């Protein structure tokens, strides 16, 4: 997990699945502390486990689709409202959009499969309310316990679907919005436009919650507004760093193609807008260089394993990663030539 996320997303490493590191946030401990006193230990633990499994499936949907598009994925970080998948989908609006939509799509499929209308239609109104639990306790007898577990699983995925449906960064809805904006407006204004949309959504939620006197809605609006303020702050830092003197990232192990002296000498004849665009272009080149270095490092590790143990020693996922890395490097070689 990136160091800048550690302070607000403390987590513990729980293992590695499908060539991906899995970390679970300490914030998950809040879930049983909230639901167990209200609904009892059996129902509270059932909801916590259902939420954990749903988030895990949600995040690995991002991982698998990102790799399917030709990108890579290294780590997933599980939190109660979803997670953070450290994935790098294929470049372009389609790769970004379909990768972001994959997680909510899995939650939607589970909601359809566990829809209360199939087996417990009398609980349907309560099940569709994300602020209440459709049952008061978990039954212990065999016929009813499976019905209750199905309802709990539906509620967990319904909440995740509604939360991630919001067009707010960094939620999946905001990522899908950003991907759609890439094909419609200048890429330089995509993030700021997405943040403005998130601010508007937060204000609407706050107004509705205040007018209807719903503390849960006000809490959600406050949470959405906070996330957008963080995104805005990060955007301001990013733009400020574009205006500062460039320092190479020693962790990449390679020299940058970006020459700051070239920009300094040419900025005299450039307008402020052109200067800003030139800095943005140089920053994108640096990000591409970092990504290429990571891909080459992953390819070297896989080739070393093949050399030492043979091609059959690779797992199916490692074989796919080897093919995608090789394809990406070949495509970049053709484009550079």
Q: Is residue 7 pLDDT above 50, yes or no?
A: no
Phi, psi of 262 (to 5 degrees): -65, -45
Q: What was the pLDDT predicted at 252? A: 26
**Dist. CA 155–CA 30, nearest whole Å:** 17
Name the pLDDT band for 337 (thresholds 50, 70, 90).
Answer: low
Top pLDDT among 335 and 156 is at 156
Cβ-contact 183, 176 below 8 angstroms: no
Distance CA 248, CA 260 (A): 10
pLDDT on residue 236: 66
pLDDT at 240: 56
Burial of residue 117 (CB within 10 Å: 0-12, 13-18, 19+) is exposed
**Which one is predicted more confidently, 196 or 185?**
196
Beta strand 72-79 with 20-25 is: parallel
What mean pLDDT comes out for the span 147-170? Answer: 88
Beta bridge partners of 84: 77
For residue 264, which of 288, 249, 240, 282 has the smallest C-alpha distance? 282
Report whether 289 contacts 254 (CB < 8 A). yes
Provide the β-strand partners of residue 86.
Answer: 75
With beta carbons less than 8 A apart as the criterion, state whether 175 and 96 touch. yes
> Whole-prediction pTM value?
0.65
Which among 191, 197, 188, 190 is positioned nearest to 168, based on CA atoms? Answer: 197
Is a pLDDT exceeding 60 seen at residue 10? yes
- For tokens 């994300």, the residue is 130
- 44 versus 184: which is more confidently predicted? 44
What is the structure's pLDDT at 158? 92
Summarize pLDDT for 240-284 with one digit per residue, the tens.
554 443 333 333 233 333 333 333 444 444 555 566 567 667 777
Q: What percent of the chain shows pLDDT beyond 90?
A: 7
| Residues in contact with 277: Cβ distance below 8 Å, sequence separation at least 6, in sequence order | 188
Question: Where are the alpha helices (H) located in 212-315, listed in sequence order?
Answer: 215-243, 260-266, 272-309
Give pLDDT tens digits for 71-93: 888 888 888 776 666 777 776 77
pLDDT in tens, 282-302: 777 777 777 777 777 777 777
Report pLDDT digits (tens) over 206-217. 888 888 877 778
Mean pLDDT computed over every residue of the chain: 76
* Measured distance between the N- and C-terminal CA atoms of the chain, rounded to whole angstroms: 35
pLDDT band at 332 (very low <50, low <70, confident <90, very high): low
Q: Which residues pair with 78 in a beta bridge?
A: 24, 83
Q: Which pair of structure tokens corresponds to residue 46?
A: 């059932």
Question: Does residue 44 contact residue 32 with C-beta atoms inside 8 Å?
Answer: yes
Cβ-in-10-Å burial (0-12, 13-18, 19+) of 93 comes to middle
Q: Confidence class of residue 111 from pLDDT cuts 50, 70 and 90?
A: very high
DSSP annotation of 246 reads P
Residue 3 has pLDDT above 50, yes or no: no
Sign (positive or negative) of CA dihedral 46, 50, 53, 55: negative
The answer to whether 302 and 314 are in contact (CB under 8 A) is: yes
Which band of pLDDT confidence, cut at 50, 70 and 90, is reported for residue 29? confident
**Averaging pLDDT over each range in 5-9, 93-97, 109-113, 209-213, which range is the top one?**
109-113
Q: Is the pLDDT of residue 8 over 60?
A: no
Task: Enter the DSSP assignment of 63.
Answer: H
């Amino acid at each position: 997990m990136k160091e800048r996320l550690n302070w607000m997303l403390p987590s513990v490493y729980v293992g590695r699945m499908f060539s991906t590191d899995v970390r679970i946030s300490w914030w998950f401990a809040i879930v049983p502390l909230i639901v167990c006193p209200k609904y009892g230990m059996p129902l509270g633990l059932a909801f916590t486990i259902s939420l954990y499994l749903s988030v895990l499936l949600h995040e690995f949907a991002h991982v698998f689709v990102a790799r399917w598009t030709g990108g890579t994925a290294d780590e997933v970080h599980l939190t109660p409202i979803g997670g953070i998948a450290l994935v790098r989908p294929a470049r372009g609006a389609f790769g970004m959009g379909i990768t972001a939509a994959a997680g909510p799509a899995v939650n939607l499929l589970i909601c359809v499969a566990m829809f209360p209308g199939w087996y417990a239609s009398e609980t349907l109104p309560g099940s569709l309310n994300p602020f209440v639990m459709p049952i008061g306790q978990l039954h212990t007898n065999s016929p009813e316990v499976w019905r209750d577990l199905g309802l709990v699983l539906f509620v967990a995925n319904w909440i995740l679907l509604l939360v991630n449906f919001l067009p707010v960064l960094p939620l999946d809805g905001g990522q899908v919005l950003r991907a759609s904006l890439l094909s419609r407006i200048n890429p330089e204004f995509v993030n700021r436009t997405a943040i403005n949309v998130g601010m508007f959504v937060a204000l609407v939620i706050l107004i509705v919650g205040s007018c209807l006197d719903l503390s849960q809605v006000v809490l959600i609006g406050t949470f959405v507004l906070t996330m957008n303020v963080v995104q805005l702050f990060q955007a301001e830092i990013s733009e400020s760093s574009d205006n500062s003197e460039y320092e190479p990232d020693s962790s990449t192990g390679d020299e940058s193609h970006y020459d700051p002296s070239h920009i300094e000498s040419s900025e005299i004849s450039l307008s402020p807008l052109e200067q800003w665009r030139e800095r943005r272009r140089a920053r994108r080149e640096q990000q591409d260089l970092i990504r290429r270095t990571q891909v080459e490092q992953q390819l070297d590790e896989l080739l070393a394993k093949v050399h030492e143990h043979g091609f059959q020693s690779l797992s199916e996922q490692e074989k796919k990663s080897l093919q995608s890395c090789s394809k990406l490097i070949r495509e970049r070689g053709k484009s550079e030539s």
